[in-house]
Structure formats: structure tokens, C-alpha cells
Amino acid sequence: MGTIATRKKANGENSYTATIRVKDGGVVVLSESQTFNKKALASAWMTRREAELQKVRATGAPEVRKVTVAEILEAYVKQAEGITKWGRSKTADIKRLKECNLANKDARYLTDSDLIEYAESRRTVDKAGPATVLNDIVWLRQAFLSARSLFRLEEPLRAVDMAKAELMRRRVISKPARRSRRISPAEEKQILEYLRSKTRTRIPMADIVEFALLTARRQEEVCRLKWDEVDFESGTAWLDDVKHPTQKVGNRRQFRILKPALEIINRQPKVSEFIFPWDSKSVGTAFTRAMRMMGIDDLHFHDTRHEATSRLFEKGYSIQEVAQFTLHDSWATLQRYTHLRPTDVPER
């Protein structure tokens, strides 16, 4: 099944290349090779990989037609079209995965070692962070989960689960660190005064930031809020396609708005169906530029959502009540956005 070729390097030393090929119906469906400076290492690698591939064959996976990882990813993308709307980051991640060294591998023979090798390369060669590589593994798992029904392939799913467990154990991948950035009163005053002083800018950034701090709305949600979907009498509004772990398209939700936020809405000119008719990317760029100009470090627009949520708890609202503002579905998720200070907890 495998062979070891010896080559002499320029410095006179030998290198040993172990090659494994798997045929299906007389056609080579898998070809792998690794080069080592010792023959024993090449032999050990070849023995280990052959054993792994034999284990895969024992599951019956080779009876399924050859399917590459790239084909699985493409099928996963098509399956989601018109059902799930992905963000820019996931779209870019899937595109990169379709072009990586895993893409051309025969999924029938995919092993946890392949995925571990990919993750290690991302960390060492691409200098990607542990949370970024974890995203890759998550997207691959979702694609392999769909492959179980689309292609009758079980092995990729088993392989990615085994690889993830080992990569987490070795801390090659990890969940992103939770941000706990609060906006101090002095920072808020500085930010709003600076933004209000920029009278020549088209985007009313001061109003947008103040509105976000009152409503806990994401920047894209602020820019999608419509005049006819605000009920000034009840102090509520509706949003379409609210972010959700499993359902975004068609996820229409009603949320609570405090009076100060309604006052901000009322002072906006009605020039569009949208209250803040600006591109959310432009809003984010303007915010980042303003922080840089003021010398405020490590503050993102999304931190206004964390700050707004924490302030609602500090006002005395319960978990269930805060969820009516933020539209979180669970306490576990809501907790990520809550950063109360010990000094803010009253003695009861």
C-alpha cells in the first residue's frame, strides 16, 4: 500500500519520503506523502496512516462514491441558500476552506490526523489565533453533518469530532475570550462631545452611539430600523431577521425602547423608510476612526451592546425584562453581554 523513496539532499544527507496510495476500481483516490530525515520515522508514519485508513475501510465508507471535502462544502453552501443568511465572516471562512489543502482530499478517507495537521498549520504557518481556527473546525463539522444525509458519509463527522477533542485538549483551538470592556462615564462624555463637534459629517454618529447605548441594538440593526415599525405609544419596535444561532431569515422580533431612545428617533429627519438610513459598515468605520482620533483604545461599536445590557441590569431590570430589550433567548447567552461591577451590587 505504501512505499519509501530515498533521496540525497544537497548537503549529502539522505531524506526519506513515505507515500501512500489508495485505489478504487483501479483509480487512485487517495495519495499522501511525508518526508523525514530518518527512515524509521518515515516507516512509522506510513504504518500509522495505513492503520488509520484500514480502520476507515472497515466502516464501509469506501463503498460510497468519491467525494472531496470541497464538494461537501459546496453542497453545504447550496443547501443553505435561501434558508440561512450568513455574515461576511462565515462566507469568507467557507470560501477559504474550499481552497485550502484539505479541499481536494477524498472525504471517505478523511481522518482526525488530517484535520489536526490542518489546524496546526493554520496556527503555525498562517498565524491564525485559536478562536479563528476553532471557527474553521465548527464550519467543517456543520458541512460534514450535512454530508451524512447528502452523501451517506459518516467518517468525516467522526473524524472532525475526534480532532476537535484533541485540539481542544492541546489548546491548539479554544473559544474566544469573553470581552468585558465597559465604557466609563468620562469616555462616554468624551465620545459624544467629539462626535457632536463633527458637524460636517453626513452620519449622525452621536445620535447613533447614544441610541445604541440606550437600546443595546447592534450597528446593523440600528441601520435597519424603520419608521413604520416603531410604536411610540407602547414604546416598542419590530425588527426583521434578528440574529439567532439557528434562524435569522424571517426571525421577526418586537423589542422595548425607553423614552430617551424614542426622543432620539423623533429628532431624525424623515428622508427614508429607515430612521438611520446609513450603511452599517460606514457606521462601524466612522466609529473606529473616531476612537483612533481620540486615542481611546480597544473599544468597538459592539461594546455599546455590552454596556447597554449591563446598564439595564444596573437599573434594576430582571433577566426576563432585560431580554425584552436585547432579544436574547437564554440567560447563558445574555450573561456574555453582562459585565456588572462588584461595587454595583447593592446590599439587600
Q: Which residue has the higher pLDDT, 287 or 30?
A: 287
Report d(CA 21, CA 32) in Å as an integer: 7
Contact criterion met (CB below 8 Å) for 3 and 19: yes
Interval 162-189: pLDDT, tens: 999 999 999 999 988 777 788 999 999 9
Q: Which range in 8-12, 144-148, 191-195 is most confidently predicted, on average pLDDT?
A: 191-195
Q: Tell me the angle at which helices 185-197 and 280-294 cross, rounded to the nearest 10 degrees.
A: 110
What's the confidence (pLDDT) of residue 185?
93
Taking residues 131-155, report their average pLDDT.
90
- Mean pLDDT for 122-130 is 93
Task: For residues 21 and 254, give the distance between their C-alpha atoms in angstroms, rounded to a whole number.
Answer: 58
Q: Give the CA dihedral 7, 9, 15, 19, nearest 10 degrees.
A: -50
188-223 pLDDT tens trace = 999 999 999 988 889 999 999 999 999 999 999 999
Question: pLDDT tens, 24-55?
Answer: 666 666 677 788 888 898 888 888 888 877 77
Distances (CA, A) of 187 to 38, 191, 196: 61, 6, 14
**Residue 209 or residue 5, greater confidence:** 209
pLDDT at 334: 76
- What is the Cα–Cα distance from 183 to 299, expressed in whole angstroms? 8
Closest alpha carbon to 314 in 239, 177, 213, 208 = 213
Query: Which runs of consecutive H residues, i.e. helices, occur in the chain?
Result: 39-58, 69-80, 88-97, 112-124, 130-150, 155-169, 185-197, 205-215, 219-222, 259-266, 280-294, 303-314, 319-326, 331-335
The angle at the Cα of 85, spanning 82 to 88, to the nearest 5 degrees, equals 135
- At 16 the three-state DSSP class reads strand
So what's the pLDDT on residue 62? 47
Q: According to the model, what pLDDT value does residue 348 have?
A: 58
Q: Cβ distance 144 to 156 under 8 Å? A: yes
**Strand-pair category, 253-256 with 236-239:** antiparallel
With CA atoms as reference, report the closest residue to 109 among 150, 176, 63.
Answer: 63
Which set of grid coordinates corresponds to residue 19? Answer: 507515500
- For 94, residues 6+ apart whose C-beta sits below 8 A from its C-beta are 73, 76, 77, 86, 139
pLDDT tens track for 290-306: 999 999 999 999 999 99
* CB-CB neighbours of 275 under 10 Å: 24
> What would the pLDDT profile of 328-346 be if each residue is shown by its tens digit?
877 777 776 665 666 666 6
pLDDT for the residue 294 = 95
Model confidence pLDDT, tens digit, residues 61-108: 544 568 899 999 999 988 877 666 676 778 888 999 999 989 999 888
Query: What is the rounded distance in angstroms from the CA atom of residue 344 to the CA atom of residue 348?
Result: 12
What does the pLDDT read at residue 51?
Answer: 82
Integer CA distances (angstroms), 198 to 204, 209, 276, 286, in order? 9, 14, 17, 11
Mean pLDDT confidence for 119-125: 94
Tell me which of 308 and 8 has the higher pLDDT.
Answer: 308
pLDDT tens digit sequence for 233-279: 999 999 987 876 555 566 788 999 999 999 999 999 999 999 999 99
Give yes or no for a contact between 125 and 101, defined as CB atoms under 8 angstroms apart.
no
CA–CA gap between residue 329 and residue 334 (Å, rounded): 8
